[in-house]
Amino acid sequence: MDSANEGSIDRSKAVRGRAPRDGAAGADFLQLDARRAPPGGLADWLARQLRLAIADGRLPVGSRLPATRTLAAELRVSRGVVTDAYRRLGEDGHVAGRGRAGTVVVAAPARTPAPPRPAGPPSPEEVFAGAPGPDVFDRLRAVPARLDLTPGTPDLAAFPRAAWQRAERRVLDGLVSADLGYGDPRGAPVLRSAVAAWLARNRGVRVTPDEVLIVSGTAQALTLFAQVLRDEGVRETAVEDPGSLGARMHLNARGLATPPVPVDEDGVRVDALRASGAPTVLLTPAHQFPTGVVLGGDRRRALMRWAAEGGLVLEDDYDAEHRYDRPPVPALRSMLPDHVVHFGSVSKLLAPALRVGWVLAPPRYRNALADAKRYADLGNAVLPQLTLARLMESGELERHLRLLRGRHRRRRDAMVAAVRAHLPGAVVHGAAAGLHLTVVLDSSSSGSAFDDTEFAAAALARGVKTQPLSWHAQRPSRPGLVLGYAARTAGEIDEAVAVLGAVARELR
């Protein structure tokens, strides 16, 4: 059907046109292999295979079949075999000739009923029922919401697309062919140098590029280092309480227990850390998640004494760049480098979709961590690394950060005002920095405590997505919500918090 003169077919030639047994007789198209055809039935076999592909959806309506000459050459059969098979499908009404467009699928045979489609997203009640499981964040993301206040999400609309495109073009213009091969599993040298310079400028950390390992975000950093700790015989890592549920899940998935250490207005309680007996601790000292407190000076000194006595600190430099009403605080890694593993990323600065982060490990862990990264994925994709390095070196990333600080500050102010207006009596924590607020709910008027998971479920049913504070606590605590504001406009923030206020009144 590829041309008008294919209507006349030499049937005897079609039957004789079997593929030679000593050569490759297969086509990439549908993985067809003429050697599987029964003797004397090549055209029947080919027509049957094409019908099956149309019926099961591999060849949907509108798809074009290969030219008869091309498919015949790949199958090592006569062209008449393919022409005869196409003719039979045309007589069935499954394909039609379209001139220069070739032979096109125009109809599919009746199919057996498809199995029931998977259920849609879970209901709000299902998401928040019981203890959160390993897939709880995936389930929550799957539920559509008109106003999403998920914490930890930056203003993705502010992603510097033009600057990224310019940097990417310059990177591509300067690449040689060898640059497109496998890269260094520890990360592209140019990005490791750029990260070292960025940390020196912005976090007070002085390192050489050789000390920087590029990873796919803080989540992978935690997973890889948990594996290293397990290999050394470590069985538990203490965590802040309340503290990130997601981080705790990553550690637990690698077989590490996560004993809770309480957090107060000065940060983690180092006396409780000592009492736990855990050899390592995961902290978010620059902006504690979810309370937003900064690890105080006395606590830092106490923590350094604990580390100098043999403890190891895993420092998640969470939200460190996003500060509004307070001076910067240096990273713990700058104070005691031999006892601090430092994690950072651009997920909150640019976009989580980039999946780029870094780890600074003490010398005794550096090789084991690099091996874990190598065997996990052979290293991050190189082109995004080179583009990010150019953004860092050019000053574009600092300019983007200054833009975000102003925008996020205004949205922070809008959320604080909205909470005061619509949730009177609620206590706001963590307003001086970051991308979220923690709101502890007032229950005095009802005489009983809110169930914050019930609160979050009711809010989600009304189109507002947030996280209950109890998800991030291992010990009993006051009910609350963790509210992200960076990705929403001031008007959307006020509207969302107004919904939360209405839910609060209904639950009293």
- What does 107-146 look like in DSSP terms, one character per residue? -----PPPPPPPP-SPPHHHHHSSS--TTHHHHHHHS--S
Residue 323 pLDDT: 82
For the cut 50, the answer to whether the pLDDT of residue 243 exceeds it is yes
| CB atoms inside a 10 Å sphere around CB 366 | 17
CA–CA gap between residue 368 and residue 229 (Å, rounded): 10
For residue 283, the SS3 value is strand
Phi-psi group of 284: left, alpha or beta (phi > 0 → left; psi -120 to 50 → alpha; rest → beta): beta
**Residue 347 CB partners (closer than 8 Å, separation 6+):** 154, 217, 218, 354, 355, 357
Q: Where in the chain are the domains?
A: 4-105, 124-157+400-507, 159-395
Residue 99 pLDDT: 83
- Residue 22's pLDDT band, with cuts at 50, 70 and 90, is very low
For the cut 50, the answer to whether the pLDDT of residue 80 exceeds it is yes
For the cut 80, the answer to whether the pLDDT of residue 19 exceeds it is no
Q: Which residue has the higher pLDDT, 265 or 322?
A: 265
- Residue 494's pLDDT band, with cuts at 50, 70 and 90, is very high
Q: Which residue has the higher pLDDT, 299 or 327?
A: 299
Residue 117 pLDDT: 53
Q: What is the mean pLDDT of residues 344-360?
A: 95
Of 322, 277, 272, 279, give the one whose Cα is nearest residue 302.
272
Structure confidence by residue, pLDDT tens digits, 95-115: 999 888 899 999 876 655 555
For the cut 50, the answer to whether the pLDDT of residue 447 exceeds it is no
Residue 26 pLDDT: 77
Class of domain 159-395: alpha beta
Residue 111 pLDDT: 59
CA–CA gap between residue 453 and residue 450 (Å, rounded): 9
Percent of the chain with pLDDT over 70: 92
Percent of the chain with pLDDT over 90: 77
Q: What is the mean pLDDT of residues 443-454?
A: 66
Residue 119 pLDDT: 65
Lowest mean pLDDT among 96-110, 215-229, 284-298, 491-505: 96-110
Q: Which residue has the higher pLDDT, 320 or 469?
A: 469
Residue 318 pLDDT: 82
For the cut 90, the answer to whether the pLDDT of residue 41 exceeds it is no
Q: What is the mean pLDDT of residues 374-397?
A: 96
Structure confidence by residue, pLDDT tens digits, 244-258: 999 999 999 999 999
Q: What is the mean pLDDT of the chain?
A: 90
CA–CA gap between residue 370 and residue 376 (Å, rounded): 10
Q: What is the mean pLDDT of residues 24-39?
A: 83
Lowest mean pLDDT among 144-153, 371-380, 438-447: 438-447
H/E stretch holding 13 reads: helix 11-16
Phi, psi of 124 (to 5 degrees): -55, -40
Residue 39 pLDDT: 82
Under DSSP, the state recorded for 312 is E
For residue 434, the SS3 value is coil
For the cut 60, the answer to whether the pLDDT of residue 36 exceeds it is yes
Residue 449 pLDDT: 61
- Shared fold status for 4-105 and 124-157+400-507: no
**pTM for the model:** 0.82
Q: What is the mean pLDDT of residues 440-445?
A: 67
- CB 59, CB 105: distance < 8 Å: yes
For the cut 50, the answer to whether the pLDDT of residue 4 exceeds it is no
Query: Can you name the CATH fold of 124-157+400-507?
Result: Aspartate Aminotransferase, domain 1 (3.90.1150)
Residue 13 pLDDT: 40
For the cut 50, the answer to whether the pLDDT of residue 378 exceeds it is yes
Q: What is the mean pLDDT of residues 53-59?
A: 90
Structure confidence by residue, pLDDT tens digits, 139-166: 999 999 999 999 988 899 999 999 999 9
CATH 1.10.10.10 for the 4-105 domain, yes or no:
yes
Q: Any idea of the CA torsion for 350, 356, 362, 367, to the nearest 10 degrees?
A: -170
Structure confidence by residue, pLDDT tens digits, 321-349: 888 877 788 899 998 899 999 999 999 99
- Residue 38's pLDDT band, with cuts at 50, 70 and 90, is confident
Residue 25 pLDDT: 60
Q: What is the mean pLDDT of residues 3-14?
A: 39
Phi-psi group of 349: left, alpha or beta (phi > 0 → left; psi -120 to 50 → alpha; rest → beta): alpha
For the cut 90, the answer to whether the pLDDT of residue 213 exceeds it is yes
For the cut 60, the answer to whether the pLDDT of residue 190 exceeds it is yes
